């Protein structure tokens, strides 16, 4: 049987949970995730977790945060003046917003604290600093990039 190797395009069903059991993502009810192994399309721990699987295999993998979305970075948490929010908006903890950097790039932030004059925003990935658990089922090894011989 063919085993997954770097360069293969695979289709996989997954169910992702945190170590406390809470679900953060799943392909349940959707098409399986399709990606090229080793291309950087998924987090490193997920890439490594599918290696050597064969179609029909099911397994659970544990991905430490350093092989997922990395650590939560203190410099990604910032205070933002409350008076710069639109007048008709009441900032609340947990609210997700889109911010724009000076070069026009949009990025998501979450309100983590509301103070008297400032609102603390967290621009870290929501899964930064968290270990992840995935239940995987390999559905298909769709294709492999052909090796190119160059004399």
Class of domain 8-70+127-144 as given by CATH: alpha beta
Task: Give the predicted TM-score (pTM) of the model.
Answer: 0.80
CA-based angle 57:60:65, to the nearest 5?
A: 135
| Reported confidence tier of residue 60, pLDDT bands at 50, 70, 90 | very high
Determine what percent of the chain is predicted with pLDDT higher than 90. 84
pLDDT at 15: 98
| Reported confidence tier of residue 148, pLDDT bands at 50, 70, 90 | low
pLDDT (tens digit per residue) in 70-93: 999 999 999 999 999 888 999 999
pLDDT (tens digit per residue) in 98-139: 988 888 888 899 999 999 999 999 999 999 999 999 999 999
Tell whether domain 74-122 is in CATH 2.40.10.330.
yes
Domain 8-70+127-144 and domain 74-122 have a common topology: no
Contact (Cβ atoms closer than 8 angstroms) between residue 138 and residue 4: yes
49 pLDDT more than 80: yes
Backbone angles phi, psi at 44, to 5 degrees: -55, -40
46/113 Cα distance (integer angstroms):
32
Using alpha carbons only, how large is the chain's radius of gyration in Å? Answer: 20
pLDDT at 43: 96
pLDDT at 104: 86
Q: Please, which residues bridge with residue 120 across strands?
A: 79, 113
Backbone angles phi, psi at 83, to 5 degrees: -70, -5
Q: Where are the domains of the chain?
A: 8-70+127-144, 74-122
CA atoms in the 13 A half-sphere facing the CB of 108: 8
Listing from the earlier edge strand, what are the strands of the sheet with 118-122? 77-81, 118-122, 106-114, 96-100
| Reported confidence tier of residue 68, pLDDT bands at 50, 70, 90 | very high
């Amino acid at each position: 049987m063919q085993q997954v190797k770097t360069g293969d395009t695979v289709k996989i069903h997954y169910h992702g949970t945190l170590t406390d059991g809470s679900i953060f993502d799943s392909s349940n009810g959707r098409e399986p995730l399709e990606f090229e192994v080793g291309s950087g399309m998924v987090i490193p721990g997920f890439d490594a977790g599918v290696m050597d699987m064969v179609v029909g295999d099911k397994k659970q993998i544990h991905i430490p945060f350093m092989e997922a979305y990395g650590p939560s970075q203190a410099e990604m948490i910032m205070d933002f003046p409350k008076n710069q929010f639109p007048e008709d908006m009441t900032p609340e903890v947990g609210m997700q917003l889109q911010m724009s950097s000076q070069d026009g790039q949009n990025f998501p932030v979450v309100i983590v604290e509301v103070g008297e004059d400032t609102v603390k925003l967290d621009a870290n990935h929501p899964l930064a600093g968290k270990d992840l658990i995935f239940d995987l089922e390999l559905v298909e090894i769709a294709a492999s990039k052909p090796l190119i011989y160059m004399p």
